[in-house]
Amino acid sequence: MGFTMTEKIYASHSKSGNAQAGEIVILTPDVVLLNDTSGSITVGQLNQMGVQELYDSEKVVLVADHFSPPKDVTSAESIGLLRGFGKKYGIKNFYESGRYGIEHALLPELGKVGPGGLIFGADSHTCTAGALNACGVGFGSTDLAGVIATGELWVKVPASIRVDMIGKPGRFVTGKDIILSLIAQIGVDGALNAALEFGGPGLANLNVDERMAIANMAVEAGADTCVFECDEQVLSYVAQTGWSLRDPVTPDHDAVYLERREIDLDRLQPLVAVPPSPANGTPLSSVTDVTVHQVYIGNCANGTMTDLRQAAQILKGQTISPEVRVIVVPATSAIYQQAAREGLLEIFAAAGAGVSLPTCGACFGGHMGILAAGETAISTTNRNFRGRMGHADSKVYLANAWVAAAAAITGKIIDPAAIATTAGRECA
């Protein structure tokens, strides 16, 4: 009996050197990630435990991104607590969103994520690491206090669901549409207590940014983690970031899966997740006469250069509807700077959009883009539950950057082909 990629990554980080689905194993991760919301709880737990020295401060990464820049005194104090914790224990890896970015986009840039790696984070979207042939697992803040103190944690090895992609995405179809399609098929609990493993010949037609968009929302299908097969695109990416801790993993030909699924990329069309669930992926052509008040392009996996270029293709030379506010959020400082070099920020500003520093901000209803009662947003973010981005009587539709940008111009959700005759994958 062979092993899945998830089992192999867990085994390489386990005390016993073995890991099979259903087993409880003791794992030591390569990276432990805390942010400015989860971090305060972890710091409090470490204080209660009386911890004087961390297991390995080099493995701990602190990122202030949820409430950075601070919106009030409480959030400023939370970030200050995280910074003070880092200084107390000699943690060198401390980042604020104005200097570097949103945690799940930032870690790959810093060379903290790569093939064969294992990342524990006190944030559910730590699964984004899966795009780079790694496993990212979200845990509670108290669990991570134990990991930071001892270097290890008891974990149940998940069984895996295999997802093979075939074909090539058509015009205006992105990684966002692929994951919305999968969640629509299996539901928000379709991968509960399991891992999603992605591969197949269609993978070659998706760049790393698009894979991150898919991996980011594995948790929206209920998955514990996810992992993509490694290829030349991934190896080229990590060669530039400096990752060298682990080797790539591949599934055995006789690996055992809970189930197998196939996604034909040729047959996909742009989807919109209708509120109040990410599982409500609906063909764009069926979502009509929806007026939007806010367009949000950004988040940890959809504030990439790929997303910004797509949005710019639609907005270039256009004027945003005066009835719509548009917020564009590059995921990291490096992405912000590259977008500036390419002239994308100028395009956004000329069209009437606001460009923010990297921040989680409005994605989780924290700040910098909150919705009022009765308002509707179309967003490239990952959740659209009731009240997710503001008032309980607001609504959020999830879509890719092309679709979101098109709505900015008309004030309604429409096919981006109606705005841009030349934009699309062939121009990306």
pLDDT, tens digit (0-9, with 9 covering 90-100), for 270-309: 999 999 999 999 999 999 889 999 999 999 999 999 999 9
Check residue 98 and give its pLDDT. 78
- CA-based nearest residue to 55, from 32, 85, 84: 32
Name, in order, each residue with C-beta under 8 angstroms of 342's C-beta and a sequence gap of 6 or more. 309
Residues 152 and 29 grouped into a single domain: yes
Q: Is the same domain home to 176 and 277?
A: no
CA–CA distances in Å: residue 364 to residues 37, 42, 106, 249, 349: 11, 20, 18, 33, 24
**pLDDT of residue 199 exceeding 60:** yes
Check pLDDT > 70 for residue 2.
yes
| Pair (180, 122) in one structural domain | yes
User: Same domain for 245 and 300?
Assistant: no
- Are 184 and 54 in the same domain? yes
Structure tokens at 56: 């390995």
Domain check: are 133 and 72 in the same one?
yes
- Looking at the structure, tell me whether residues 282 and 408 fall in a common domain: yes
Do the Cβ atoms of 401 and 311 come closer than 8 Å? yes
Q: What is the mean pLDDT of residues 161-176?
A: 98
Distances from the Cα of 52 to the Cαs of 46, 47, 89, 165, in angstroms? 9, 9, 8, 48
Integer Cα distance of 315 and 72 in angstroms: 33
| Encoded amino acid at 251, one letter | P
- 261 and 378 both lie in a single domain: no
Of the residues 248, 265, 282, the one at which a domain ends: 265
How much is the pLDDT for 288? 84
* Domain edge (last residue) among 209, 236, 265: 265
Q: Quote the pLDDT of residue 371.
A: 98
The answer on pLDDT for 68 being more than 70 is yes
Is residue 180 domain-shared with residue 314, that is, in the same domain?
Answer: no
Pair 373, 321 in one domain: yes
CA–CA distance, 384 with 279 (Å, rounded to integer): 10
**How many domains is the chain built from?**
2
What does each C-alpha distance from 327 to 173, 294, 303, 356 come to in angstroms? 22, 8, 11, 7
> 210 and 302 share a domain?
no
Can you count the helices (H) and strands (E) in the chain?
12, 18
pLDDT at 146 over 80: yes
When pLDDT is cut at 50, 70 and 90, the band that residue 408 belongs to is: very high
Please report the pLDDT score of residue 97 as a whole number: 75
At residue 426 the predicted structure's pLDDT band, cuts being 50, 70 and 90, is low
Per-residue pLDDT, averaged over 195-210, amounts to 98
Residue 206 has φ and ψ, to the nearest 5°, of -120, 125
pLDDT digits (tens, 9 = 90+) for 76-124: 999 999 999 999 999 999 999 778 999 999 999 999 999 999 999 999 9
Name the band, by pLDDT with cuts 50, 70 and 90, for residue 420.
confident
Q: pLDDT, tens digit, for every residue of 10-49?
A: 999 999 999 999 999 999 999 999 999 989 899 999 999 9
> What CATH number is attached to the domain comprising 286?
3.30.499.10
pLDDT score of 414 more than 80? yes
Of 12, 42, 7, 45, nearest to 27 by C-alpha is 12
Report the pLDDT value the prediction gives residue 99, as an integer from 0 to 100: 82
Residue 421 confidence (pLDDT) above 80: no
Domain ranges, residue 93: 5-265
Please identify, among 236, 265, 294, the residue that sits at the C-terminal boundary of a domain: 265
Judged on CB neighbours under 10 Å (0-12, 13-18, 19+), 73 is: exposed
Res. 1 pLDDT band, cuts 50 70 90: confident
Could you tell me if 260 and 278 lie in one domain? no
